[in-house]
Structure 1
Amino acid sequence: MSLLLTCDTGGWKTPTRLRDRLAPAEDFSGLQVAEPDLIPTTISLPTDRLSRRGVDREAYFAARKLAHHGGSELICNEFRSDLVDVGRSLHHRDLFPPQVRALPVETRDAIIEEIYHPYRNRVQQRIAELLQTWSYVVHLSVRTFDAKTTGGDWQRGDLGLLYDPARKDELDWCLDLFDELFASVRELKVRRNHPHRGTNDSLTKSMRAEFPPDRYLGVELTLNRAWVSRPVIRREKVLERIGRCIGRLANASIERAA
């Protein structure tokens, strides 16, 4: 098997072609980006880190750590997620945030052309390329979720594994990863299909329609911002252990296949 990690929401750039049409990033998300073409070490986050606002630096940070420690290839959307959610289908009501929905249709079409299609095509093409070499691909889409529900209650989970329970291989793989995480990262409460169902609209759901269930396993790995937004050493150690769990499971699958 081959392992591929993606991150839909960690980008920080504005397409050059669209910079004269769009307001600066801080007007959309409350984030200030001093140099849009640099890795976002210069982004100053809002005081409230419990909810994602535009550029999801935590997802980007976590995806890089998980890919490094899990020995996986990583594809990130490098453009601002406060312009378009590349994980949504074109018909989804939350494809654009409210500020962007108010822009002229020509600008929204340009955002789709410059950001949405290139990223999704890149992910789909890479999966197809990996399947030419490997028997199947496990695709982990890394995201964060708000620490509180819309009703103001604290979320009852630290890490979610979102999958389609009707696809047996996805279910089995997630159960194996669940066991690995339980043994190695006991301080995290891991929940399956939390904070929402793995069959909801997402990039992994779209990819399931493109590849057969015995060759493509699409799983969203979601992290609670209550802990992943804390810039402390313990966060890095926990992400390292999660990444190593993913890597061990991937290597074990390769050994069984051999």
Structure 2
Amino acid sequence: MNKRSDSILILTCEHACNRLPAAFKKAVPAEILKTHRAYDIGAYTVFRKLVRFAKPEFSCEGNFSRLFVDLNRTITNKSAFSDYLRELETRTPATAAKIKESATNYWTEYRAAIEKFVDSALKPKTRAAKSAPTIVHLGIHSFTPVLNGKTRNTDIGILYDPSRPAECALAQVIKGEIKRLYPAMKVRFNYPYKGTSDGLTTTLRKKFGPRYVGIEIEINQKFFQR
């Protein structure tokens, strides 16, 4: 995808790794940290390659597992915190409260850094500017091939809001480029998740309006399995 002169590209990878803070590490079984429940397997590899290739004006990735806090959920969403933290709350409430406070602060800092960049980038730099820039945000994710015994029937999912024309157009461009380079690749829109579900892109759409264009790329983890 070629970057237009009036667009600003940002790349993020919310579920980049499976690390946990030391205070929370014992609460999660080591074998779980190796699975898709802890992070988006393979997503960080793709993200780093895209950063090197596309050279976005802003990029960031999560430094902790989504079992600590899910950066792609609003903090008030029940699923922002894992069952492991809720289990810890029943055993040692004081410890759990400190961990939750730390997780909330981390989530807030991550979101604030992105919103600060977008807000600054969308402000007119000079009165002579011919057109206001548009933020193009690609969030890089991956999904497990089988969930709850059901096989996910796609190779790459492109998630967007169908009610937003700019996102519809960009989703078509991305699909077209993938199919041009890899004709056999199965690409589906808003699968295996809906692009309008609670997430970073939905929050940024509400906050910044039509000058923000947010797309999530979901890659089947079968490509990263040995």
Answer yes or no: same fold by TM over 0.5: yes
- The alignment status of 1:10 with 2:16, answered yes or no, reads yes
Deviations 1:184-223 (A, max 9, x none): 122321111110110001110011111011x100111111
Aligned length: 205
What are structure 1's unaligned runs of at least 5 residues?
Answer: 32-44, 46-50, 232-258
> Using the alignment, how far apart are the partners of 2:172 and 2:142 within structure 1?
21
Which structure dedicates a bigger proportion of its chain to strand?
A: 2
Equivalent positions of 1:81-120 (< 5 A) are 81-103=66-88, 104-113=96-105, 115-120=106-111
> Using the alignment, how far apart are the partners of 2:157 and 2:177 within structure 1?
14
Identify the residue that residue 247 of structure 1 maps to in structure 2: none
> Using the alignment, how far apart are the partners of 1:5 and 1:184 within structure 2?
21
Task: Assess if the C-alpha contact under 8 Å between 2:12 and 2:138 holds in 1.
Answer: yes
Amino acid at match of 2:69: V
What are structure 2's unaligned runs of at least 5 residues?
Answer: 1-6, 89-95, 126-131
Which residue, out of 111, 114, 117, partners 1:123? 114
Deviations 1:161-195 (A, max 9, x none): 10001111111111122112111122321111110
TM-score normalised by the chain length of structure 2 = 0.82
> Using the alignment, how far apart are the partners of 2:27 and 2:139 within structure 1?
24
Identify the residue that residue 160 of structure 1 maps to in structure 2: 157
User: Cα distance, 1:89 vs. partner?
Assistant: 1.0
Q: Do the aligned partners of residues 98 and 25 (structure 1) sit closer, same or farther apart at CA in structure 2, a change above 3 Å counting? A: closer
Amino acid at match of 1:87: N
Which residue, out of 48, 61, 69, partners 1:64? 48
> Using the alignment, how far apart are the partners of 1:7 and 1:74 within structure 2?
8
Amino acid at match of 1:221: I
Q: Do the aligned partners of residues 124 and 157 (structure 1) sit closer, same or farther apart at CA in structure 2, a change above 3 Å counting? A: same
Describe the SS at the equivalent of 1:79: coil
> Using the alignment, how far apart are the partners of 1:57 and 1:76 within structure 2?
14
Task: Assess if the C-alpha contact under 8 Å between 1:29 and 1:53 holds in 2.
Answer: no
Identify the residue that residue 141 of structure 2 maps to in structure 1: 143
User: Cα distance, 1:57 vs. partner?
Assistant: 4.6
Q: Do the aligned partners of residues 131 and 68 (structure 1) sit closer, same or farther apart at CA in structure 2, a change above 3 Å counting? A: same
Describe the SS at the equivalent of 2:147: coil
Q: Do the aligned partners of residues 219 and 13 (structure 1) sit closer, same or farther apart at CA in structure 2, a change above 3 Å counting? A: same
Q: Do the aligned partners of residues 197 and 56 (structure 1) sit closer, same or farther apart at CA in structure 2, a change above 3 Å counting? A: closer
Task: Assess if the C-alpha contact under 8 Å between 2:10 and 2:138 holds in 1.
Answer: yes
Task: Assess if the C-alpha contact under 8 Å between 1:29 and 1:55 holds in 2.
Answer: no
TM-score normalised by the chain length of structure 1 = 0.73
User: Cα distance, 1:99 vs. partner?
Assistant: 0.4
> Using the alignment, how far apart are the partners of 1:86 and 1:28 within structure 2?
21
> Using the alignment, how far apart are the partners of 2:133 and 2:141 within structure 1?
26
Cα root mean square deviation, aligned? 2.1
Q: Do the aligned partners of residues 71 and 185 (structure 1) sit closer, same or farther apart at CA in structure 2, a change above 3 Å counting? A: farther
